[in-house]
Amino acid sequence: MQQVRFSADTFRQEFLASIVVFLVALPLCMGIAIASGVPASAGLISGVIGGLVVGTLAGCPLQVSGPAAGLATVIYEAVRNHGLEQLGLMVFVAGVFQLIAAVLGLGQLFRAVSPAVIKGMLAGIGVLIFASQFHVMLDDVPKGSGLQDLVTIPQAIQKAATLPQIPAGDTRQEMRAIVQELGELHRQQINLNEQVAEIVPHHQNRPPADEHMLEEFIPKQTAIQEQLGQVLVRSKALFADQPDKLERFQQLSNSARQTQEVAVDDLQRNQWAYIVPAQTEAAASLSAVQGAFKNHEFAAGIGVLTILTLVFWKSLPWKRLQIVPAPLAAIIVATGAAALWQLPILYVEVPSSLFEEIHYLNWSVITGAEWGAVLSAGAVIAALASAQTLLTATALDQLHHGERTRYNKELMAQGVGNCLCGFIGALPVAGVIVRSTANLEAGGKTRMSTILHGLWMLVFIVALGSLLRMIPTSALAAILVYTGYKLVDWRAAKEFSKYGYGELFVFLATIVVVVSVDLLIGVMTGFALAMARLAYRISRLRVIVEPPKGDHTTVRLEGAATFLKLPKLARSLEKIPNGGHVDLNINRLSYIDQASFEHLIAWSQQYEMEHGTVTADWNALDRWAHLGRRSEETEQPLSKAS
């Protein structure tokens, strides 16, 4: 295919395409970060790297890389089990694995996966994302596992289905301001927790090399404590006419004050063994206080409004508005509604400066790492990110007539990008189909549109980051609820059934295990079932003995004649009457091993001793048995090998 090169003539189209991709990517990067249990800024940074770095090096020029919804569940589990400070190391290791695979030329091997497994994996991920983000869309929290998230959806709906108690306008405005202030304090606490954990990993049983390094965190923790006290004083008046809520709020406030005092005290007294757990409890208590202001009904309304905008945006009669991507339009509508009515719901927590959220890998994290867990998680991230990237690249090649994908180069680019993401503590990147198809549909022809979208994202979050704090969390979760729903391609079930119920079973089994057990185990189960089905198909042998015509009998062999099917072959041949003529037809025989070949020789010799005759292409059978494959030279003279 002829390569399209960037030039002054193509700049206008590339510029417009990059704007479209940027507008699609912005809400998705934040939403995937929240679904992964990390700050929204981690997703934005990954989007920048996916555009500027991976886009420059990519072997699939039109593919857009960034945080992927398919990795959200893996990242969420990794952060929950091993801490946010370990995530960067896991992503870095994943990048190293990808670089090694690229150097070894393994890019093409990632395509050797059954479509039923891939579709099942994506559908299972879609169910997990849908179930977990459905709760987030209602300003609630996921329940801990895919099955729990799924079965508790009716309870979540019931919780949000009541008519909301609408406070006065001034009260709503004050509640909204307090919710946002508590969100900012929670973000600062999480950030401080990660900084401290990089020096004193929570699983270590020894003090840091330089204990005085902890002193710099005392003023930050004290500032959080003081600001929280001021917010709690203002908040108490809002529950004056609601005794039940006031009592609950006072309990949460007292708990938050105590955990803050403990966190400050541990830092001041250099209680290094308790500092990280104390700060983790402080962050949890801040989230609980913020939860006292949650209004699930309002959050649900914003979520439903977001989904309706996504669904019906392209159906609007005003065609000029359709140049705005549906995800961005949904975010604008939801943010505008939340601001207009001053809704006291959760909002995105992002810093005023992006550089506050960059956490470089340091020696303490590396030396204190749980390397078994790090290597395992890194391998899973690398495998899933690589498979998604290269399968997306394959799909894109079918949608345009430009430069074809160079798989090992693309894998190398992804490895470089993930090493960089891991080094600065961002989410892993992968090729993503939604942003990539948006690039194609907008007219992107070269890698420049991908690179520019990363530049626009960087400019936006540096210059206009304050706007992001106005976005409701429920709106971003609603986008992912819709994304998860779209990932579940139930039409694939009908397609797989055309190829037999075995493919359909692999597809459904992969979904069930991914949702009920674990993503990696689900993929491995699907792969094992696909291999078992393949082994069954290639080892299947049909021995068809046609009714005799006089003394002439035709025996047709179809499939693979292996030692596993030798008893069946022997039983069928022994039923042929002696003394006749047997024509052994091997036109549909795909394979024969030595055991089956030698049995046919022995049987034919025995049959001819009983005054019968056997004709077959013995030369071809001899070659197949020795070479392990079917020869192209068929229709040889029918003579028995000596």
425: left (phi over 0), alpha (psi -120 to 50) or beta: left
Confidence tier at 636 by pLDDT (50, 70, 90) = very low
Q: Kindly state whether residue 377 falls inside one of the protein's structural domains.
A: yes
Q: What CATH number did the domain enclosing 287 receive? A: 1.20.120.660
Q: What is the pLDDT, as a whole number, of residue 632?
A: 41
Q: Are residues 284 and 180 in the same domain?
A: yes
Distance separating alpha carbons of residues 421 and 92, to the nearest angstrom: 7
Q: Is the pLDDT of residue 361 over 50?
A: yes
> Where does the pLDDT of residue 625 fall: very low under 50, low under 70, confident under 90, or very high at 90 and above?
low
Instruction: With a cut of 80, say whether residue 112 has pLDDT above it.
Output: no
Please give the backbone phi and psi of residue 549, each rounded to the nearest 5 degrees, phi first: -110, 95
User: Does residue 277 have a pLDDT over 90?
Assistant: no
What mean pLDDT comes out for the span 626-642? 42
The SS3 assignment for 588 reads strand
* pLDDT exceeds 90 at position 420: yes
**What pTM does this model have?**
0.72
Tell whether 548 and 532 lie within a shared domain.
no
Domain assignment of residue 623, given as a range:
541-627
Q: State which amino acid sits at residue 414.
A: Q
For residue 399, which phi and psi values (nearest 5 degrees)? -105, -5
pLDDT above 90: percentage of residues in the chain: 14
- Structural domain includes residue 146: no
Q: Are residues 175 and 321 in the same domain?
A: no
Q: What is the pLDDT of residue 633?
A: 41
- 392 and 513 part of one domain: no
Q: What are phi and psi of 556, to 5 degrees?
A: -110, 130
pLDDT band of 429, cuts 50, 70, 90: very high
What is the domain count for the chain?
4
Residue 269 lies in a domain: yes
| 417 confidence band (pLDDT: 50, 70, 90) | very high
pLDDT for position 2: 47
Question: What integer is the mean pLDDT of 59-73?
Answer: 87
Q: If you average pLDDT over every residue of the chain, what do you get?
A: 82
Give pLDDT, residue 485. 86
Query: Are residues 122 and 63 both part of a single domain?
Result: yes
* Same domain (yes/no): 261, 322: no
- With bands split at pLDDT 50, 70 and 90, how would you rate the model's confidence at 639? very low
pLDDT confidence of 627, banded at 50, 70, 90?
low
Same domain, 337 and 404: yes
Instruction: Report d(CA 308, CA 291) in Å as an integer.
Output: 26
Tell which of 293, 325, 342 closes a domain: 293
Q: Is the pLDDT of residue 99 over 90?
A: yes
Residue 633 lies in a domain: no
Same domain, 241 and 357: no
The domain boundary residue, chosen from 250, 276, 293: 293
Decide if 557 contacts 151 (C-beta within 8 A): no
444, part of any domain: yes
Q: Tell whether the model's pLDDT for residue 1 goes beyond 50.
A: no
Whether residue 639 is contained in a domain is answered as no
Do residues 522 and 554 share a domain?
Answer: no
CB 513 within 8 A of CB 526: yes
| Least reliable range by pLDDT among 196-205, 219-228, 292-301, 618-627 | 196-205
**Lowest-pLDDT range, 14-23, 173-182, 202-211, 301-310?**
202-211
In this structure, are 554 and 518 located in the same domain?
no
| Domain presence at residue 374 | yes
**pLDDT the model gives residue 623:** 75
Domain co-membership, 110 together with 174: no
Same domain, 467 and 421: yes
**Is the residue at 459 inside a domain?**
yes
Kindly indicate the confidence band of residue 39, based on its pLDDT and cuts at 50, 70 and 90.
confident
pLDDT at 46: 94
